[in-house]
Amino acid sequence: MLPLAAALLATACTGSPTPPGAGDPTTSAAPTGSAGIPGVSGMPPTELSVAGITVVQSMGNDPLLPVAVRRPVAPGQGSMTDAIAAWANATESTFRADNAPSEQAPAELNVGWQVITASGPVLGIRMETFEFGGASGQTTHRVFYGDGSTTWTGMDLVTTAGRAEVAALVRSAVRASGHATLDPDEVGAAGVDALLTDLTFSAAGDLVLLLDQGTVAPFSAGNLTVTVPQATAEPLLSERGRRVADAVRSGLPYAVSVPTSAAPTPVAPATPVTPAPVPPATPAVAPPPAAAVDCTKLKCVALTFDDGPGSLTGTLLDRLEAAGVVATFFVLGQNVRIHPDLVTRMVRSGMVVANHTWDHRDMKRLSLSEARSEVDRTSAEIARVTGVSTTLLRPPYGSMSPQTATLGQAIILWDVDTEDWKNRDASITTTRALATVRPGSIILMHDIHASTVEAVPAIIAGLKARGFTLVTVPQLLGNPQPGRVYTRR
């Protein structure tokens, strides 16, 4: 269950001194979990995942303009996948058009996603956007639903006539909870749309609206949730809204028709994709004994790969294994959740798996508790999947504050930057990897770019030709100490 929903139920049951009438909407403030910056909240963790969903990542690794956009690709939900892609691309384009790289106050865009509904043919995805405009940050939400052939947004779940009524219910619920509301005449029609970006249903059929900061109440009220009881909501729902509500209420396993790519079969057999609860901890993967290397005597170098694992990581592992070479992977916790098989394969192959946070936020902007959560969730996920613990952290963008050094991690940066995320060219990446490398170097790459995976055999050959021994970061550094920052041996 989402903590959001739990908080809501708790408030609805016990939080109000005068219990609302049976048909009245209720309001609660969503947890923001952030000290200091209003509206900064992590994606509410969800245990709901759907087998087969893969992720597309657009990672701009420029510390002067941090951008990390992740979106799902759901098999059998092409329409929805396309709609989310169009929205995510537009969000990134707008952000890039509005914000220039800045050394003093870099703007930041971070888009993530979670499954909110997976039942029958209906898949629901919530996109969460954190945007920092140089002075303040805001987190906003938007849901997409798909039934395999079509997709719709929150607004589509309510009839055209019902939208104004839902908006009125929301405003009165927010006022009843003691918050001032913004003048509907001032926010206008766009204001009504903004109230309907994140609509979900409880198992009992209640309509739950997640209201972003500043859409219905002043910014200082934070994010709010309003629950409209089933009996009140029902007449306001569109046919699509009823289908989503019914799917949630039915509790059926998720099942979509996955079109086969080759044959023009008119009706593909339904492939049930059951909502996959987080699997129990797997037995520890036994890493092979690390080769004894003495980097005080040998010319050692460490290849490192960030931001994965992803769809290209398997090919990269093929190439590393074929060359008999080990490397260090700084993984995102949420990608470990999606690709546990790749992470266990890394460990079996003698690679080192280390921490690149859960969702690639700029750590300079995080409260201490948020920063801890980013690191600890990821370490816990790596340990759950592999049985191996890590205390090596590479902060996204190499961006850190003094606080980052207090998280019990050795901070692993680099001294050779291939800029593979920028050049996207195998020969340039290879040239840059070999140009300034020296004994003790740590080389930065990203295993989410095809050009990088393509470059790796030539990089390995070039390093070996110069007498380098390729090692993992722990082999290179010996025993890296928590709180210390390393750019090379």
Q: Which residues are catalytic?
A: 306, 446
Distance CA 130, CA 133 (A): 10
Cβ proximity to Ni ion: between 63 and 205 the closer is 63
Distances (CA, A) of 287 to 256, 340, 349, 351, 387: 38, 15, 7, 8, 10
Question: What b/e string do you get for 232-260 counting C-beta neighbours within 10 Å, with b at 16 or more?
Answer: bbeebbbebbebbbbbbeeebebbbbbee
Compute the half-sphere exposure of residue 207: CA atoms within 13 Å on the CB side of its CA. Answer: 34
Asked whether the beta carbons of 453 and 460 are under 8 A apart, the reply is no
Residues in binding contact with Ni ion, number by CB under 5 A: 3
Distance CA 30, CA 5 (A): 9
Shortest distance in whole angstroms from residue 421 CB to Ni ion: 8
Stated as kind and residue range, the H or E segment containing 117 is strand 108-119
Shortest distance in whole angstroms from residue 468 CB to Ni ion: 24
Distance CA 371, CA 383 (A): 18
Closest-approach residue to Ni ion (CB): 306
Q: Compose the 206-245 pattern: x for residues touching Ni ion by CB under 5 A, - for all others.
A: ----------------------------------------
Q: What residue spans of 177-216 are helical by DSSP H?
A: 184-195
Shortest distance in whole angstroms from residue 371 CB to Ni ion: 16
Cβ proximity to Ni ion: between 57 and 430 the closer is 57
Cβ proximity to Ni ion: between 306 and 374 the closer is 306
Site for Ni ion in 392-431 (CB under 5 A): 396
Cβ proximity to Ni ion: between 222 and 395 the closer is 395
Shortest distance in whole angstroms from residue 251 CB to Ni ion: 38
Distance CA 172, CA 167 (A): 9
Shortest distance in whole angstroms from residue 61 CB to Ni ion: 6
Q: Of 71-79, 245-253, 338-346, 388-396, which part binds Ni ion (CB under 5 A)? A: 388-396
Backbone angles phi, psi at 232, to 5 degrees: -75, -40
Shortest distance in whole angstroms from residue 356 CB to Ni ion: 6
Question: For the residues of 441-454, what is the DSSP string, one character each?
Answer: EEEEEETT-HHHHH
Cβ proximity to Ni ion: between 26 and 57 the closer is 57
How far does Cα 123 stand from its chain's mean position? 18
Residue 359 in the binding site for Ni ion (CB under 5 A): no
Distance CA 254, CA 275 (A): 6
Cβ proximity to Ni ion: between 307 and 374 the closer is 307
Distance CA 331, CA 360 (A): 10
Site for Ni ion in 286-315 (CB under 5 A): 306-307
Q: Which residues bind Ni ion (CB under 5 A)?
A: 306-307, 396
